[in-house]
Chains A and B, each alone.
Chain A
């Protein structure tokens, strides 16, 4: 670069326009990201919202009081269990489906059919959780929900099941809706990887007399294994994110035992009850869990694939 010989302040002056671009962005980040991070200190302080933003520096220190309080909360283990279990179930059941879908789509040689199915399958990704929860009400409500009507009509159930209002079904519902919403989207990614496979491999396999199943098993799957690994790691890193909408919208007082997660709990005690300091402390526990996962999965990815996020 021709610029590198100049001292930095001269370069700074030459690129003042660019610096202005970046400065605005960094200033913005400072307000909306950095200050909230600093605001985490209210987890260790007495804080009232009336004290305003600067109140976070003036409140008296209380140490780990709120953390201990949360550990003694009567439903603490339940909330922690739900947070972890819902995420894990989604990962275990939700991960194979898009891969199978991508492989199946790849085996379809009729372009029109392929396109129609693909287009339908990722529509749910663009639909909000609000609408998904609306679908759940239409299909599962006890009065006239389509699924209940069919199950009762076929004699599988004696009376309509309370799928939405009771605690027994929430985890299943969470996994099903999550898979339904995201499978088509992730399948695009795997399909892109599959279409990058060298076609001569398949041709050679045909000449060798390999059947279709064996071609899928011995060529397709090994070829997309690296991207599967990377995606898996990315998913583990974001394990606890993105469950809030689902738990909040599909959750209710009837199924709270299984639907309440740290995110919804923080929301309830924080924004609804106004216990800002306590809620911040609880939220921090989830952030710490997430951070550990991000670093852990990144380390893992370095070990396994040699590629990492940073």
Chain B
């Protein structure tokens, strides 16, 4: 990499120029939408509706956030989504790893049958409607549990976990077993502490999925107090997307702060994207793991 003893030729300069231009465009295209949304969320809504804001706020204000964070509906949604994300991530990560750990034992009686069922369920599904029927008969519809239970076991991550556990030294399990330790203590005391990269990988992807969720909240839940952030955001975007509404349409959020739908939308977008934007650069080292195991054999 570093040692470049060769003089730069004209070709080098041209290629460098093309590559940096291309990467510059990529950088701008991916970062700018986020940047613009942040700018707009700090700008007066009525002023922003006139357009023409590209790089800096024109009328700086914090009222969008004030109005937003004093609105019970949004606060509640942020709370529900946070609880759901934490709980769902823990449940899915642990449950998936426990099952995968069992399946990873090569001398497990009936392993072939279990794996066949697993692969079958990975590739085939009944589709939306029969799935809904099952949720309905389990009384999961319109309950907070619909956010946690149906996604408690992720088969794709289970395959990832199986290949991870199979690469751990077998002696670990056997020696502990001979010492008379039960499966559960072995798993929690010996195996899990060695599986931090795996747990991190599964937890990140599960957590992001929960935080971003909107579908189940929209269609499996009618109770207004159980709305997730993603669902409310979708509602607002659909509303500001309706060009039929006049520009003057203003929604009162609280008694003293009025916000335009667009201002509510960008503020909600920034708040929804914020945790992800903050956390993900620190988790880069796990992404490769998560990706490369995607191509393991089932």
Q: Are B26 and A101 in contact (CB under 8 A)?
A: yes
Residues 45-83 of B, flagged 1 when their CB comes within 8 A of A and 0 if not, give: 000111110100000000000000000000000000000
Distance, CA A305 to CA B297, complexed state (A): 14
| B53 nearest CB neighbor, chain A only | A146
Take A22-B108, A52-B137 as given contacts and tell me if A33 and B121 are in contact as well, using a CB distance cutoff of 8 Å: yes
For residue B52, which residues in chain A have a CB less than 8 angstroms away from its CB? 144, 149
Report A-chain residues with C-beta under 8 Å of the C-beta of B284: 119
For the complex, is A130 an interface residue (Cβ under 8 Å from B)?
yes
Q: Which of A123, A144, A199 contacts B49 (CB 8 A)?
A: A144
Q: A23-54: which residues lie under 8 A (CB-CB) from chain B?
A: 24-26, 28-29, 31-40, 42, 49, 52-53
Q: How far is the CB of A117 from chain B (nearest CB, A)?
A: 5
B221: interface (CB < 8 Å): no
Within 8 A of A (CB), among B123-167: 123-134, 136-138, 150, 152-153, 155, 158
Q: Which residues of A contact B (CB under 8 A)?
A: 1, 3-4, 8, 11-12, 15, 17-22, 24-26, 28-29, 31-40, 42, 49, 52-53, 56, 100-101, 104-105, 107-109, 113, 116-117, 119-124, 126-128, 130-131, 133-135, 137-139, 141-146, 149, 162, 164-165, 180, 183-185, 188-189, 192, 199, 206, 211-213, 227, 230-231, 234, 245, 249, 252, 266-267, 270-271, 276, 279-280, 283-284, 286-287, 291, 294, 307-310
Q: Could you tell me if A123 and B125 are in contact, using CB atoms closer than 8 angstroms?
A: no
B182 and chain A: residue at smallest CB distance? A17
* Distance of A32 Cα from B105 Cα, bound (Å): 24
- Within the complex, the shortest CB–CB distance from B264 to chain A, in Å, comes to 11
The main secondary structure of chain B at its interface with chain A is helix
Residues 241-298 of B at the A interface (beta carbon under 8 Å): 241, 243, 247, 262, 265-266, 269, 272-273, 276-277, 280-281, 284, 287-288, 291-292, 294-295, 297-298
Q: Do A192 and B292 have beta carbons less than 8 Å apart? A: yes
B183 pairs with A17, CB closer than 8 A: yes
Pairwise interchain contact B99-A280, C-beta atoms closer than 8 A: no
A149 touches B51 (CB 8 A): yes
Choose from B16, B103, B130 the contact partner of A35 (Cβ within 8 Å). B130
Chain B nearest Cβ from A132, distance in angstroms: 9
Q: Which residue of chain B has the shortest Cβ distance to A250 in the bound complex?
A: B241
Shortest beta-carbon distance from B217 to chain A in Å: 11
Output the residue of B6, B106, B131 with the most chain A CB within 10 A: B131
Q: Known pairs A188-B288, A270-B132, A291-B124. 10 more at Cβ < 8 A? A: A15-B105, A22-B114, A109-B4, A121-B27, A131-B212, A137-B241, A212-B15, A249-B234, A271-B129, A276-B129
- Lowest 3 CB-CB distances: which A-B pairs, in order? A17-B183, A39-B130, A36-B126
Q: Are A143 and B34 in contact (CB under 8 A)?
A: no
- Looking at chain A's contact residues, is the secondary structure mostly helix, strand, loop, or mixed? helix
Q: Within 8 Å of chain A (Cβ to Cβ): is B208?
A: yes
Task: Give B contacts to A, CB under 8 Å.
Answer: 1-2, 4, 6, 9, 11-12, 15-16, 19-20, 22-23, 26-27, 29-31, 33-34, 36-37, 40, 48-52, 54, 95, 98-99, 101-103, 105-110, 114, 117-119, 121, 123-134, 136-138, 150, 152-153, 155, 158, 182-184, 187, 208, 212-215, 219, 230, 233-234, 237, 240-241, 243, 247, 262, 265-266, 269, 272-273, 276-277, 280-281, 284, 287-288, 291-292, 294-295, 297-298
Cross-interface CB contact of B50 among A108, A144, A206, cutoff 8 Å:
A144
Instruction: Determine if B11 and A211 form an interchain contact, defined as CB atoms under 8 angstroms apart.
Output: yes
A119 to B30, CA, bound (A): 10
CB–CB A109/B109 < 8 A: no
Asked if residues A120 and B30 are in contact (CB atoms below 8 Å), the reply is yes
Measured between beta carbons, the chain B residues less than 8 angstroms from A199 are: 1
Chain B positions within 8 Å of A19 at CB level = 102, 108-110
A249 to B212, CA, bound (A): 14
- Collect the chain B residues with CB atoms within 8 Å of residue A308's CB: 297
Q: How many A-B residue pairs have CB under 8 A?
A: 283
**A29 pairs with B117, CB closer than 8 A:** yes
Minimum CB–CB distance from B192 to chain A (whole Å) comes to 13
A270 touches B49 (CB 8 A): no
| B102 CB, min distance to chain A CBs, angstroms | 3
List residues of chain B with CB within 8 A of the CB of A234: 294-295
Also in contact, A35 and B287, with CB within 8 A (given A104-B22, A130-B212, A138-B37):
no
Once the chains are docked, how many angstroms separate the CA of A34 from the CA of B109? 21
Cα distance A41–B125 in the bound complex, in angstroms: 13
User: What is the minimal beta-carbon distance from A135 to any residue of chain B, in angstroms?
Assistant: 4
A294 touches B23 (CB 8 A): no
Residues on the B chain within 8 Å of A249, using CB:
234, 237
